[in-house]
């Protein structure tokens, strides 16, 4: 076990603690764990059970995160532990994210040090490290230690997050965090409560704060038939993103039946097409269709001249017409880190 960050002891006698790492703010009694099952109270001190227990390590295209405006075509060293602070019924990585709820006993994973991850990223030719596959807040202490070393070594750091990180934890890691793709899963509390076991407003607050702190943001919405696919809700999401910055890319991606949500069909192609149109109608510059390889909605379009700047197929960049962060054809600046 490794000492946890961001908690307070509420009662020295009973040892009751409150975890402040994420916005659930769990009250954790002596000997018990929080909602995520990865932080445990011992005599009024919280410990993280995931530090260094790396379950998965892969070299991914950065486009897989998905991040389309951060070093297009580069590789990202991607890591995770088990666990999550959400209980999403449609989770595609539920066997990893829900492991602490599904399996008794100690957590699986290879014992790794932050310097091991940074060295392997450099050795693999990766320009970034992604804390991904499950919610990175779950292994925040390890991610923070790794991010500090990576930052010093010139390696960029990426969160792929549900946006439930606490404010203090967000402020602590922001100086070392280059980018964050945050899932804005829907725009209703009903969805967040019934599908994820969470609330909407904390996610909106984190998105705003990350942007204020200078972290490059991209937003992903998995469009689920019958849940969050109405034109009204999609328009609300687009308007919210624009209220922060019209330059934040929005990824609208295809749902496939998974885990506890096998009662509906995959998202129709025309629904994602319409979502993209709505994004443009609301004034966003960059909207992408995901999980349908070969769709032209994967391409980056210049908001100045309308030409294709970056052509993609799936996670592969086929053509790149960026020059020093500008459109090669009309010299319009393109938002991102290039």
Strand order in 16-19's β-sheet?
A: 7-11, 16-19, 27-28
pLDDT recorded at residue 68? 98
Q: Is 213 left (phi over 0), alpha (psi -120 to 50) or beta?
A: alpha
Q: Which residues, other chains included, contact 306 with Cβ-Cβ below 8 Å and sequence gap of 6+? A: none
Alpha carbon 269 to chain centroid distance? 24
pLDDT recorded at residue 1? 84
pLDDT recorded at residue 275? 98
Spatial separation of the C-alpha atoms in residues 138 and 4, rounded to whole Å: 11
pLDDT recorded at residue 288? 98
Give the residue carrying structure tokens 């020295």: 12
Fold of 54-292: TIM Barrel (3.20.20)
Domain ranges of the chain: 2-48, 54-292
Angle at 267 between CA 181 and CA 291, to 5 degrees: 45
Whether residue 149 has pLDDT greater than 90: yes
Q: Is 171 left (phi over 0), alpha (psi -120 to 50) or beta?
A: alpha
pLDDT recorded at residue 60? 98
Q: What is the mean pLDDT of the chain?
A: 97
Q: Quick check: pTM over 0.85?
A: yes
Kindly tell me the burial class for residue 140, based on how many C-beta atoms sit within 10 Å of its own C-beta (0-12, 13-18, 19 or more).
buried
Whether residue 104 has pLDDT greater than 90: no
Q: What is the pLDDT of residues 252-302, one digit of tens each?
A: 999 999 999 999 999 999 999 999 999 999 999 999 999 999 999 999 999
Whether residue 332 has pLDDT greater than 90: yes
| pLDDT band for position 136 (cuts 50, 70, 90) | very high
Q: What is the mean pLDDT of residues 68-80?
A: 98
Spatial separation of the C-alpha atoms in residues 274 and 289, rounded to whole Å: 10
Q: What is the mean pLDDT of residues 325-334?
A: 98
Q: What is the pLDDT of residues 29-58, one digit of tens each?
A: 999 999 999 999 999 999 999 999 999 999
Q: What is the mean pLDDT of residues 11-19?
A: 95
Whether residue 324 has pLDDT greater than 90: yes
Whether residue 105 has pLDDT greater than 90: no
Q: For the chain, what percent of residues have pLDDT higher than 90?
A: 98
| pLDDT band for position 81 (cuts 50, 70, 90) | very high
Whether residue 221 has pLDDT greater than 90: yes
Query: Taking a C-beta distance cutoff of 8 angstroms, is the pair 118, 129 a contact?
Result: yes
Spatial separation of the C-alpha atoms in residues 88 and 198, rounded to whole Å: 9
Q: What is the mean pLDDT of residues 136-141?
A: 98
| pLDDT band for position 232 (cuts 50, 70, 90) | very high
């Amino acid at each position: 076990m490794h000492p946890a960050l961001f908690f307070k002891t509420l009662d020295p006698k009973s040892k009751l603690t409150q975890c402040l790492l994420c916005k659930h703010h769990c009250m954790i009694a002596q000997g018990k764990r929080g909602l995520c099952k990865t932080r445990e109270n011992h005599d009024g001190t919280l410990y993280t059970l995931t530090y260094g227990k790396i379950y998965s390590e892969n070299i991914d295209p950065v486009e897989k995160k998905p991040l389309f405006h951060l070093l297009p075509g580069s590789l990202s060293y991607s890591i995770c532990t088990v666990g999550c602070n959400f209980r999403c019924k449609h989770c595609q990585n539920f066997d990893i994210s829900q492991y602490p709820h599904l399996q008794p006993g100690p957590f699986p994973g290879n014992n790794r040090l932050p310097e091991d991850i940074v060295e392997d990223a450099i050795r693999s030719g990766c320009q970034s490290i992604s804390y991904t596959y499950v919610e990175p807040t779950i292994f925040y202490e390890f991610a923070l230690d790794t991010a500090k070393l990576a930052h010093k070594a010139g390696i960029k750091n990426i969160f792929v997050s549900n946006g439930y990180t606490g404010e203090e934890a967000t402020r602590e890691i922001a100086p070392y965090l280059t980018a964050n793709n945050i899932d804005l899963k829907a725009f209703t509390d009903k969805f967040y409560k019934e599908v994820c076991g969470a609330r909407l407003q904390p996610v909106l607050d984190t998105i705003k704060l990350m942007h204020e702190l200078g972290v490059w943001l991209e937003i992903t919405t998995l469009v689920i038939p019958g849940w969050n696919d109405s034109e009204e809700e999609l328009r609300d999401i687009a308007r919210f993103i624009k209220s922060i910055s019209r330059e934040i890319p929005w990824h609208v991606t295809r749902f496939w039946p998974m885990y506890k949500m096998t009662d509906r069909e995959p998202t129709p192609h025309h629904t994602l097409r319409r979502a993209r149109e709505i994004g443009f109608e609301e004034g966003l510059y960059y909207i992408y269709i995901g999980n349908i390889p070969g769709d032209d909605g994967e391409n980056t379009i210049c908001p100045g001249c309308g030409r294709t700047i970056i052509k993609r197929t799936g996670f592969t960049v086929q053509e790149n017409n960026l020059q020093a962060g500008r459109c090669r054809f009309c010299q319009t600046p393109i938002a991102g880190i290039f």
